[in-house]
Structure 1
Amino acid sequence: MQLQQKLPKERAVTVAAQSVLAVGLTLALASSPALAKKKPADEPPAPKAAPVGAVDGAPLGAVSTTSIEGTPTVIDGDTLRFGDRLVRLYGIAAPDIDSAKGPDARVALDEIVDHQRVACTEADRTRDGMSIAICKAGNTDLAEAMLQRGEAAVYRAGNNATAEEQALGGRYDAAELVARQMAVGLWMKAEKPAAPPAKAEPAPEPWIDRGVIRDWIVAAPIVLLTFVGLLLLGLLGNRQRRLELLDQRRSDTSLLAQILAEVLAIREAAADFVINTSGLNHQAPLPVDHLATLNLPSTPVYVGNAGRAHRLPRDIGVDLVQFHAAHAGITQMLRHAGEIPSENVRTALRKLVDSADMVLERGQKFL
């Protein structure tokens, strides 16, 4: 409430300072040509953003058993060629080869492959027949390695993914989040060009022009008034930025508290079910009466604020991405809990409880 009451006064002071500044500058320019200054050169335009696929596109189909192996040729940051067959890496989008950072992405993928034998499992195909596949060189997932370097972005093809694709998406999101926070590759901030060297001033004349002195005497009060206006505007602007930053931090802390509350609810539900089923036959599927109570809470707060996750502290942000990926995979498994041994279900829920404990312990440090 105090902040809201002070804002009208600060706006009034700002308007007054701007009026003083405008009057001072107009009089200064009219009184003496010596006070006029050239407009500084504009900064260079920011680099174009890397192309990332839309999140509402058609979902990928179920992963097939088609395999592609060999030593490929790297075409660009997300495309390989095996003989006469093109393969695009599943789950990522790299800059086009003719864009500003396209060549860098291609070089990065070539370094990761390093003439190794690559094994790909086809996940889908484009309309023109190009394979979309999950590719590995040894134990290295090529798409995940590109995300870790910041040379590609996550490409979300839809919301109806399988549990395997959701788990893979969780790893990819975590890798991109780390690259963003480390500001590498596509997420590197552009550096300002160095200022040109200052030209040497000509030597002063051995005499003083009295007309220039008179002009400066007249203009001195105007210059002082202009300086005061600039100083006042700078102070008010800094104060406003500090208040906005404080509000943003409070908002991020509130969001983290709500997400941790969801994690705690999921943890308690999973722990209760593990305790209540401890006496069952571990090799047999769950009885029907237990299936009716087997339901993990959803995560509407986390899902609705996924775009703000990168503003949370790096450690808790990565933990949350991994926890919710595990939660999505176990939720998918619970839909078939009546067909698998009960011990498999209890083991998965125990791991979810342990993951929740780690998230809650680390999250408390940031509240």
Structure 2
Amino acid sequence: MAPLRQCLMPVAAFVMAMHLHAGACSAAEVLIGTPRVIDGDTLEVAGTRVRLFGIDAPEKKQACLDGRGESYLCGQAATSALREVIGDAPVACTVKTKDMYRRSVAVCTVVRPGERPLDLNAWLVEEGHAVAYRRYSKDFVPAELRAQEAKRGIWAGRFELPEGWRHKETMPQWFQ
């Protein structure tokens, strides 16, 4: 239990500093723990399903074309990238709302001792593993534009927006 406490203390200190810096004494729910990556924009933290706020990553079965025009599973690539950037570090997720599936929708930050906190939502978009989900937020549009300009991740080739891909996948064949 002591190693877990040592690992989580910097996270707790960071979360407290965030709230004090923002002048917030609000009752914002913060989930802290070592996450399980579900997919490119969903984690499970402290037993709670968390959808990353303001971003949309390709689905696990979604294919994209890379810069050479070759197909790859961009949803699996996003999931792997998120898993890799988190490693075994704890995250702090500040819950903004709940979605229609009752998941917590949050901005999550990975915190490692001696390093600056990393906003996972922004990182995924900046690296081209997700797009800004403009229907819900404009927060990550600048990061998306930088990824697009640098041709990082999905922006190196061609892809369908995850929301459009999901819609096509769930629509009955007779309707298409």
For normalisation by structure 2, the TM-score amounts to 0.62
Match of residue 141 from structure 1:
119
SS for the counterpart of 2:28 is: coil
Cα distance in 1 for residues equivalent to 2:131 and 2:120: 13
Q: Give how far 1:66 is off.
A: 0.7
Decide which structure has greater strand share. Answer: 2
Q: Percent identity?
A: 36
Match of residue 131 from structure 1:
104
List aligned pairs for 1:1-367, cutoff 5 A.
65-100=28-63, 101-138=74-111, 139-158=117-136, 169=139, 172-189=140-157
Cα distance in 1 for residues equivalent to 2:146 and 2:101: 34
Asked if 2 retains the 8 angstrom alpha-carbon contact of 1:64 and 1:121, the reply is no
Cα distance in 1 for residues equivalent to 2:58 and 2:27: 27
**Rg larger in structure:** 1
State the Cα deviation string for residues 237-266 of structure 1 (Å, max 9, x = none). Answer: xxxxxxxxxxxxxxxxxxxxxxxxxxxxxx
Asked if 1 retains the 8 angstrom alpha-carbon contact of 2:33 and 2:92, the reply is yes
When residues 108 and 64 of structure 1 are mapped into structure 2, their CA distance, relative to the original with a 3 A threshold, is farther
Asked if 2 retains the 8 angstrom alpha-carbon contact of 1:64 and 1:122, the reply is no
When residues 136 and 76 of structure 1 are mapped into structure 2, their CA distance, relative to the original with a 3 A threshold, is same
SS for the counterpart of 2:154 is: helix
Q: Structure 1 residue runs of 4+, over 6 Å off?
A: none
In the alignment, structure 1 segments of 5+ residues that lack a partner are: 1-62, 159-164, 191-367
Asked if 1 retains the 8 angstrom alpha-carbon contact of 2:34 and 2:46, the reply is no
When residues 110 and 126 of structure 1 are mapped into structure 2, their CA distance, relative to the original with a 3 A threshold, is same
Cα distance in 2 for residues equivalent to 1:156 and 1:187: 17
Q: Give how far 1:157 is off.
A: 3.3
When residues 103 and 121 of structure 1 are mapped into structure 2, their CA distance, relative to the original with a 3 A threshold, is same
Asked if 1 retains the 8 angstrom alpha-carbon contact of 2:92 and 2:109, the reply is yes
Asked if 1 retains the 8 angstrom alpha-carbon contact of 2:134 and 2:141, the reply is no
In the alignment, structure 2 segments of 5+ residues that lack a partner are: 1-25, 64-73, 112-116, 159-176
Match of residue 10 from structure 2:
none
Q: Give how far 1:73 is off.
A: 0.7
**Alignment size in residue pairs:** 118
Match of residue 252 from structure 1:
none
Asked if 1 retains the 8 angstrom alpha-carbon contact of 2:98 and 2:105, the reply is yes
Cα distance in 2 for residues equivalent to 1:137 and 1:108: 14
Q: Give how far 1:93 is off.
A: 0.2
SS for the counterpart of 2:148 is: helix
State the Cα deviation string for residues 156-211 of structure 1 (Å, max 9, x = none). Answer: 235xxxxxx76xx1xx2221111101111111126xxxxxxxxxxxxxxxxxxxxx
Q: Which letter maps to 1:143?
A: N
- RCO higher in structure (CA 8 A, sep ≥6): 2
How large is the RMSD of aligned CA atoms in angstroms? 1.8
Match of residue 16 from structure 2:
none
Cα distance in 2 for residues equivalent to 1:130 and 1:150: 24
Cα distance in 2 for residues equivalent to 1:157 and 1:67: 24
Cα distance in 1 for residues equivalent to 2:118 and 2:46: 22
Q: Which letter maps to 1:184?
A: R
